[in-house]
Amino acid sequence: MPKSKGNPAMRTCVGCGRRRPTCELMRLTLAHGTRVAFDATGKQPGRGAHLCPRPDCLKSALQRRAFQRAFRQTLSPAATDALPASFPAARLAWITARPPRQRVARITTQLEAFFGEPRWQGPEDALDILILTVLSQSTNDRNRDIAYQRLRTAFPDWEAVAAAPAQAVADAIRPAGLANQKSLRIQEILRWVQDTYGALALDLCTQPPGRVEETFLQLKGVGIKTISVVLMVCCGADVFPVDTHVHRICQRLGFVPQGYTAEKTHAAMQPLVPAGKSYSLHMNFLRLGRSICRARSPQCPECPVSIWCPAAQNI
């Protein structure tokens, strides 16, 4: 039966027997009619067998003599002896042979199937989120939220924060860390907003995101991650912020080199993320980074996108 329009072609893994989209399976061919070999690009001529990119599927296929059935001929033990040793390099070649945009799209879909699809909840106050995001720098969400609540409790409004002694602001936000530095930055931002817009309020959603970024990147304490978060959260803009978790995951998935800064990763990832999916992928990368793909001891066997990850271990 032909596949329905829009549905991916499906194949069966010779190891586990599960049917998967062809793009999620490694292909093997019978080289010179005598030796089973990996086909990283999936373009070698001749009959092929398909395998999940997992070592346990390869082990199962070898134990069950599945390749003989797949190629419909008797094979000597030597025909498959090299497969276990060549698997790691073949898996890496298979991953990198897939176009990055295709990999990002598949990862986006698989994370939505695993975590659910996060959806933008509607506009929020841009100045509130800007200050909250500045507080989030170099700390965790819990400390950020405590500091923000203390700041809003200590001062009746942003005008009062801007006019207060810097030490009073620093004392209020101390749980967020770097309190003396952040207090100065927050007050500088508030005074700049007042001078630039004539009031301590921001209406960013009517402006092109690129123009907003260009304007706010002039401010000390506001980097591309900070203003991207504001645009995404407050305006629903289709921009993909790169924080610590997202940066780590993008490097592990091989979308950017290990030496890239978060700013370079931001620039590299924008054209790769499917249109309309920046919010979903950003939020799901955060969930993945906090629960599974942690900085230390990542839980690769539990990861829903480990098949696409060059850094995955014990999958």
Q: Check which CATH number belongs to the domain holding 231 and give it.
A: 1.10.340.30
SS3 for 139?
A: coil
d(CA 147, CA 135): 7
Q: Which amino acid is at 181?
A: Q
Q: Check which CATH number belongs to the domain holding 70 and give it.
A: 3.30.1230.10
Q: Which of 188, 220, 235 is the last residue of a domain?
A: 235
| The pLDDT value given to residue 5 | 53
d(CA 205, CA 214): 14
| The pLDDT value given to residue 3 | 47
d(CA 145, CA 156): 17
Determine, yes or no, domain membership for 38: yes
Percentage above 90 pLDDT, the chain: 91
Which segments of the chain does DSSP mark as H helices, in order? 55-63, 66-71, 83-97, 100-115, 126-135, 141-154, 158-163, 166-172, 179-197, 209-216, 224-235, 244-252, 262-269, 278-291
Mean pLDDT over residues 134-147, rounded? 95
d(CA 109, CA 115): 10
Question: Both 133 and 47 in a single domain?
Answer: no
Determine, yes or no, domain membership for 86: yes
Q: Which of 235, 268, 285 is the last residue of a domain?
A: 235
pLDDT band at 131 (very low <50, low <70, confident <90, very high): very high
SS3 for 27?
A: strand
**Total domain count for the chain?**
2
Question: Both 177 and 131 in a single domain?
Answer: yes
Digit-coded pLDDT (tens) for 157-182: 999 999 999 999 999 999 999 999 99
Cβ 24 vs Cβ 52: under 8 Å: yes
pLDDT at 196 over 70: yes
| The pLDDT value given to residue 134 | 96
Digit-coded pLDDT (tens) for 90-129: 999 999 999 999 999 999 999 999 999 999 999 999 999 9
| The pLDDT value given to residue 92 | 95
Question: Both 130 and 202 in a single domain?
Answer: yes
Cβ 16 vs Cβ 5: under 8 Å: no
Determine, yes or no, domain membership for 290: no
d(CA 278, CA 229): 11
pLDDT band at 1 (very low <50, low <70, confident <90, very high): very low
Q: Minimal CA–CA distance to 28: which of 104, 79, 98, 76?
A: 79
Provide the residue range defining the domain that includes 69.
Answer: 10-97
Number of H helices, E strands in the chain: 14, 5
Residues in contact with 165: Cβ distance below 8 Å, sequence separation at least 6, in sequence order: none
Q: Which amino acid is at 51?
A: L
User: 264: which 2 tokens?
Assistant: 């370079």
Question: Both 133 and 209 in a single domain?
Answer: yes
pLDDT band at 45 (very low <50, low <70, confident <90, very high): confident
Residue that is written with structure tokens 């346990």 in the block? 56
Cβ 32 vs Cβ 79: under 8 Å: no
The gap from C-alpha 112 to its chain's centroid, in whole angstroms, comes to 12
Digit-coded pLDDT (tens) for 22-33: 999 999 999 887
Question: Both 174 and 226 in a single domain?
Answer: yes
Determine, yes or no, domain membership for 177: yes
d(CA 223, CA 236): 19
Question: Both 74 and 135 in a single domain?
Answer: no
Determine, yes or no, domain membership for 80: yes
Determine, yes or no, domain membership for 165: yes
pLDDT at 315 over 90: no
User: 44: which 2 tokens?
Assistant: 């070698």
Q: Which of 235, 254, 272 is the last residue of a domain?
A: 235
Digit-coded pLDDT (tens) for 223-257: 999 999 999 999 999 999 999 999 999 999 999 99
Q: Which residues pair with 21 in a beta bridge?
A: 10
Tell me the pTM.
Answer: 0.90
Question: Both 90 and 131 in a single domain?
Answer: no
pLDDT band at 63 (very low <50, low <70, confident <90, very high): very high
